[in-house]
Amino acid sequence: MNAKHPAVQIEAEVWRLRLYVAGQSPKSLTAIRNLRKVCEEHLAGRYELEVIDLLTNPRLAKDHQIVAIPTLVRDLPNPIRKIIGDLSDADRTLVGLDLVAKSVGSS
């Protein structure tokens, strides 16, 4: 588990994640790789991941009001969470997904 952040008790429910990508752009591929790593380490067997290619169907961006790519959306559990970027900052991804609690004093 992350050394800087205390772990959050994750309920035994399925996490529904959507990753919006732009074809095989370098950042999209990096985001897919980073997200799979996070999911396997923290949500193994308890997540559904849908990768949505907005180059193929840009209108799907409206579903979650996507403005930049890649963007990860946590549909479930509530509330919806959104992380913009290639997820290369693992700590920020974990905090953004509520997989670890925010440290005291962190922004």
Partner 1 sequence: MTPSPDAATLDLREALSKAGELLDKIRQGAVTVAPDGQILFANPAFAQLLGQRPENLLHTPLESWIVAEDQARARALLSPAAGQPALEISLLPDAGQRLSVRVSVVSTSREFTTLLFTGTHAEDAEAALDAIRGGKVDALVIDGREVVLLETAITPYRELMDHLRHGVLTVAGDGTVTYANARFCALVEVPRRELVGTRVLELVPEADRGKLAALRASRPNAHADVRLRDGRGRIVPVQVSEFVHRGLHMLVFTDLSDRQRHLASEELSRKFLGLLATEFQEMLGTIDESVHELERAEHDAPARRAALESISQSTRLMGALVEDLRRINPPD
Secondary structure of residue 92 in the 3-state scheme:
helix
The span from the first CA to the last CA of the chain, in angstroms, equals: 20
Secondary structure of residue 20 in the 3-state scheme:
strand
| Residues between 15 and 54 with contacts to partner 1, criterion CB under 8 A | 22-23, 25-28, 54
Which residue's structure tokens are 């996507």? Answer: 66
Residue whose CB is less far from partner 1, 20 or 47: 20
Contact between 101 and partner 1 (CB under 8 A)?
no
| Residues between 51 and 90 with contacts to partner 1, criterion CB under 8 A | 54-56, 58-59, 61-62, 65-71, 79-80, 82, 84-86, 88
